Amino acid sequence: MILPPATLGLLGGGQLGRYFTVSARTMGYRVWVLDPDPDSPAGRLADRHLRAGFDDPDALAELAAHAAVVTCEFENVPAASAEWLAGRVLLRPDPRALAIAQDRLAEKRFLEDAGVAVAPWLPVEDIAAARGAAPDWKLPAILKTARLGYDGKGQLPVRTREGVARAFSQLGEVPCVLEQRLELDREVSVVLARAPDGGCRCFPVTENEHRGGILHLSRVPARVSGEIRVQAEAVAQHIAERLDYHGVLTVEFFLSGSGRLLVNEIAPRPHNSGHYTLDAVTVSQFEQQVRAVCGLALAPAELVAPAAMLNLLGDLWPVGASMPDFSRLLSHSRTRLHLYGKPAARPGRKMGHVNTLGAPGEADASRPARLAEGLWAELRGAAAGGTANG
């Protein structure tokens, strides 16, 4: 076990790292954050903020010299940096898991090798492959860059064979994945923690709604059958075991119209869809991350009340205003506001979230979801009236 007051290293200083830092410091650990952003949300709360790039040799050496274990809050850690750190300090998750999660081609191949169902796909790694792609496919499809795509970025819809080549050129002719577009019933996710001794705990299966490629609303429990819940948790645990994963892992799924569960992608870290755990579960995904990377006993992850999580994007900030008017939101006793401390709002930028809670014993998240959508509509209307960032 790695016990307090040991120093925990964190690669990345965004909002996910901020909550990890809060959890770790609450438990008595010190936290060092490596992130180049001087306004890093996690760096502002950490014991030490190393303001340097993720490939800076001096910063990496200092982190390795002082941290008992290093973890991450985003997957795109340079491979060379991850390998260098792993040779000098405990890195959880390890470089292999990070390398698979940050490259869709590697991820798809890993999942198929693990016997996990995914949507039909093709690799598109050069213009010849793009021009010859999908001769007998049922289009439409989505072309996604293999690396650095998130929140809908690096993705283009295609409806014809000729459109694949055009989209490939628009995306800069970098390696891509062509994924068949499916009729979906739901999108769901499983956040889990796996400890070095192989112990695993899953958080409740979460149902997710995206708008413009960005998560808009999560609700738990998900509106799926008990059989689908069991299957989703089993698949997520199987993936974690095949990776010999240590830390918090998120697995995103498509549930097709025919009822088939397909893995969309994996994230080697806590996840936006797990933010409801801060208020509606017996342990948050961030405390569980601390426990997993430090080799502590994993806590039971039991839902206390049904909940909905609403993302607050920069579009809700009126131009020239430092903050929206949250008075209506905060007048509800079952809302919990979380702001990330980011200095500037931009369209599509995650500025915070709100969790809305049902009453213990309620069967589903219908009431929290309605409340969350109503609050979003009010904030959106107020922002539009004041000329919104979006």
pLDDT-based confidence at 17, cuts 50/70/90?
very high
Q: Please say whether the dihedral angle defined by the alpha carbons of residues 281, 282, 286 and 291, taken in this order, is positive or negative.
A: negative
pLDDT-based confidence at 162, cuts 50/70/90?
confident
Residue pair 60/84 in contact (Cβ under 8 Å)? The answer is yes
Q: Could you report the per-residue pLDDT of 244-272, keeping only the tens digit for each?
A: 999 999 999 999 988 999 999 999 999 99
pLDDT at 202 over 90: yes
Residue pair 145/176 in contact (Cβ under 8 Å)? The answer is yes
Give the single-character DSSP code of 289.
H
Q: What is the mean pLDDT of residues 303-332?
A: 93
Give the domains, in start order, of the chain with CATH numbers: 7-91 (3.40.50.20), 120-180 (3.30.1490.20), 184-385 (3.30.470.20)
pLDDT at 110 over 90: yes
Q: What is the mean pLDDT of the chain?
A: 93
pTM here is: 0.94
Residue pair 307/365 in contact (Cβ under 8 Å)? The answer is yes
Q: What is the mean pLDDT of residues 139-153?
A: 81
DSSP of 203-270 = PPPEEEEEETTEEEEEEES-SS-HHHHHHHHHHHHHHHHHTT--EEEEEEEEEETTS-EEEEEEESS-
**pLDDT at position 71:** 98
